[in-house]
Amino acid sequence: MTPEQINAYVGKPYRLGAEGPDAYDCRGLVRHVLQTYFGRAVPKLPAGTAVGELWSAQAAAGAWETVTKPRHGDAVVMRGGDDPHVGVYLDSAGAGVLHAFAGAGQVVWSPMTTLRLQGFSRLTFVRCHVQA
């Protein structure tokens, strides 16, 4: 994604369960961006504990893997509370994450250095291998 494409999403409203194009929740935004810009087949991501079950199934099938060094277009699982939050790591506008953040009420671009300030103390980078 280019900086211009990223900016087209920033400011769109956060709405739980929304998958675009007018509003997004974090899972809907990740799914949309990975499919649209990176050609990845991402299943609908459920909330809460079902994410762990989906992750286990996808990882066992070789569809997703955890990586230590993120690349442009990897998913980021951010934890700071009970329910994990997800975004997309992008480096075309400097290293950061595009995510639909309920705390801001909208889609935001967060430089990597500010994620802890937003309450996300643990980050896991995930690469999707399944082509759409």
Count Cβ atoms below 10 Å from residue 37 Cβ, excluding itself.
16
More confident residue, 116 or 33: 33
Rounded to whole angstroms, the Cα distance separating 95 from 112 reads 6
Say what the pLDDT of residue 114 is: 92
> Closest Cα partner for 33 from 109, 105, 94?
109
What's the rounded mean pLDDT across residues 37-62? 71
Instruction: Tell whether the model's pLDDT for residue 74 goes beyond 80.
Output: yes
pLDDT at 94: 85
Q: Residue 85, Cα to own-chain centre: how many angstroms?
A: 8
- Sequence-separated (6 or more) residues with CB below 8 Å from residue 132: 35, 39, 40, 41
Does this model's pTM top 0.85? My answer is yes
**pLDDT tens sequence across 79-121:** 887 677 889 999 987 899 999 998 899 999 999 999 888 888 8
The CATH homologous superfamily for domain 3-128 is endopeptidase domain like (from Nostoc punctiforme) (3.90.1720.10)
**Arithmetic mean of pLDDT over the chain:** 87
